[in-house]
A and B are shown apart, each in its own frame.
Chain A
Amino acid sequence: MSWSVQDATELERRGIPTVTVCSAPFLKLGQAQAKHARMPSIPFVKILHPMATAPTDTVAEQVKEVFAQIGRSLKASDAPSSAEKPLLGEERNRLEIKGGIEEVNELFHEQGWTDGLPIIPPTDENVAAMLSQSPRHADEQLGLLPVSMHPVTPKMLAVNAVMAGCAPAFFPVVLAAVECLLDDDLALYSMQTATNATTPLIIVNGPLARTLCLNSGQNLFGPGNRANATIGRAIRLALINIGGEVPGVTDPATHGQPGKYSFCIAEAEQDSPWTPLSVERGYSPEQSTVTLIGAGGPQNIFTYGCLNGKEILETFVGTLCGLGHNNIIFPTGPLFVIGPEHAQTLARDGFSKRDVKQYLFDNGRIPLSRFSEGSQRGIRERRARWFEVVGDPAHIGIADDPDDILIVVAGGMGIHSQFLPTAFSKNAVTKLIREKV
């Protein structure tokens, strides 16, 4: 459904009647999107699911089945009334709850205000402590957060950061991450309303990552570090409570992924032979930044027996050349979280970061003949830029340009790196972390 409802509301505003056809499991999502767009009467027509694999006869039967309903949705007689009542009730800022932390958690779970894990009750006191670290005014509107497009303020973020268990010192990172979420290049709306498992990954660079003891080393995607765990969780809770994310309704992900609980890492700048991501993206090494990109779950690259940089890169390429990952279909460049041992070996053997990107770009290509006819058609449409600019029409590559490939050095000891397929985002988005002075 991604953008169809948004587009339909835009056309309705322009005076053009619309009807949106959707398969049954997506009806609730569409209706929720229409409500968030303040146009709950926009008509939908429900068809069978799935249509993607339905034979021609089934598609034809579906058209005949809903044809009359499509006509009725566009005609005056049966169209829903345009006289509407207010959509939502008055804001309730504070809740008086009888009992203690257990009762607060029960209520918050019942209301759908959590990620399923216990939360810290947000009180005036701990929210004020969180806001004491905010460089922006508590009630300043930062933007409209998809999918609900509700205004997001530092105060609302602070409530969710408290719930997530953030220390107040983490709050500037949360704020900067939300600034990234609001950037159109991240394409958050599409990401949030898709069946794809992609979700925003937060990468922290600069001195603040070290000050806050963010994990850039062993097990950085795993548990055990408060800053990584709670900054990522604060973003998820904000997407739920401010952005209107409801699993199974406005978030129709087929599987989702563990990163939807928390997905925050730091770059191991001290262990890298190369320029940090933030410096590549125009910031100085003394500045602290967050970079967000829509990413899938990390796929381990285990280079067992590889003795040099070229052998390591060949293994990377082999990992990239699977048919079903997102970077075949989406033009967003993939992300590699390269383990420090791999990075050191690559640098030892003369590979700069740019060389690594070029190698992956030149070799991470799959013959189109390996794909079905229908997949080839989809690839040609959705990766149109590849066919326009790269000049290799017999293959599809994992990026349209070597510089679209992102490399971060992080992790602990061991001959492992991670490939994170990316999707939706037009580009990674980087913002400066501003601290309160």
Chain B
Amino acid sequence: MLVLSPTVSTRAEALPIAPREPNLEGEVWGFVDTSKVNADLFIEILKREIANSYYPKDFVVVRKQAPGLALTTEQIGLLERCRFVIFCFGD
């Protein structure tokens, strides 16, 4: 029997991730608090560890109103000040 495939497949090249630097010291670190319960606590503890190890210039934290919402333009603008961004967390 000759049947049609119900799925879509397309040829697509993978996009590269952002270039990484060899050192993490002395930079601005960004965090996205997804508003999942305990994400804020996780970030606070993580910030202390980063401060002890990498002597950051600053921290920027943006908190989502709900995990299902995209970052706002304003939040992306804040995060563009950062050298790295950590999403905390999916749970």
Contact = CB atoms under 8 A, between A and B. Distances in A.
B86 A18 contact: yes
B4 A123 contact: yes
A7 interface: yes
Interface string A95-127: 111011101100010010100000001111001
B4 A94 contact: yes
How large, as a class, is the contact surface on chain B?
35 or more
A23 B91 contact: yes
Contacts of A190: 67-69
Contacts of A100: 1
B33 to A, nearest CB: 11
7 contacts: A6-B70, A7-B87, A30-B90, A88-B10, A108-B6, A241-B6, A330-B66
Q: Kindly list the 7 A-B residue pairs having the minimum CB-CB distance in the complex, ordered from nearest.
A: A190-B68, A84-B14, A82-B16, A22-B90, A1-B90, A76-B20, A52-B37
A104 B19 CA distance: 46
Nearest to A90: B11
A370 interface: no
A168 to B, nearest CB: 15
A151 B1 contact: no
Residue of B9, B13, B82 with most chain A CB atoms under a 10 A cut-off: B9
Contact of B17 (A4, A6, A80, A378): A80
Interface string A4-17: 10111111111111
- Find the residue from A4, A22, A56 having the highest chain B CB count within 10 A: A4
B13 A59 contact: no
Nearest to A196: B68
A433 to B, nearest CB: 23
Interface string B55-84: 000000001111111110000100110111
What is the size category of the interface that chain A forms with chain B? 35 or more
B12 to A, nearest CB: 5
Contacts of B13: 38, 84, 86-87
B91 A22 contact: yes
A378 B35 CA distance: 8
A167 interface: no
Contact of A17 (B67, B68, B84): B84
Contacts of B86: 18-21, 70
A92 B9 CA distance: 8
Nearest to B75: A7
Interface in B28-42: 30, 32, 34-39, 41-42
Contacts of A93: 4-5
A16 B9 contact: no
A90 B9 contact: yes
B7 to A, nearest CB: 5
A13 B88 CA distance: 19
